Amino acid sequence: MESALVLGSRERQLGISFKKLFQHDSGVELKVKGLLNTVSCNAELQGALNKFFRVGKLAVYKPNEVYQPDLRLRLGLGVKAAGVGGQKMSADDLLLSLSAKKRVQVQRSQEVVRNRLLLRNYTQASLGANYDYNLRSEKWGGELHARLSHAIFRFTDDQDVRLTAGGVGDPKPYARLQENCWSLTFHPNGEWRVGYDL
């Protein structure tokens, strides 16, 4: 399970976030994530059960490349549920979900260190769409999102750095700087968020 301490300019209260992903070889994934406010003790929970399909031909394995992610188009079909602690679940908290995501390798470099082939830096772009159907209101809602990420491994002897920029559609534009366990996210309207992975 992934967990982190988070502090944002909007809430101005320390929170503990967590995320757990269960995956099966058949392409079925169950993701559970949430946020616990350490001041009010309110908890926000979200769960998603999806079946993913890969479209396209899998790239031929290259033994001289250390990192070869699956860049095929990924389509998903599933159900989502969300709720806030202390409130009863309603029909509005249950959604049918459709998703699509495509990743593209922009740049990568690798090097040999002590007779081992290691990834030096990597740049990746992704474009995705998520659309949800509300069973009660019978309405669709969704968002488009794009992201460009550049990672530098062994920036120093014990430090990895990643810079990410994203946005488009409903998500607000943002820039994120990550250094090992620390992350700092900025939005153009001045909002920010700090996270520390536990």
CATH topology of domain 2-197: Porin (2.40.160)
pTM of the model: 0.79
Most confident of 15-29, 102-116, 123-137: 15-29
Q: Domain spans of the chain?
A: 2-197
At 16-66, the pLDDT tens digits run 999 999 999 999 999 999 999 999 888 888 899 999 999 988 888 888 888
**b/e 41-70 (16+ beta carbons within 10 angstroms → b):** eeeebebbebebeeeeeeeeeeeeeeeeee
Task: Check if the beta carbon of residue 101 is closer than 8 Å to that of residue 77.
Answer: no
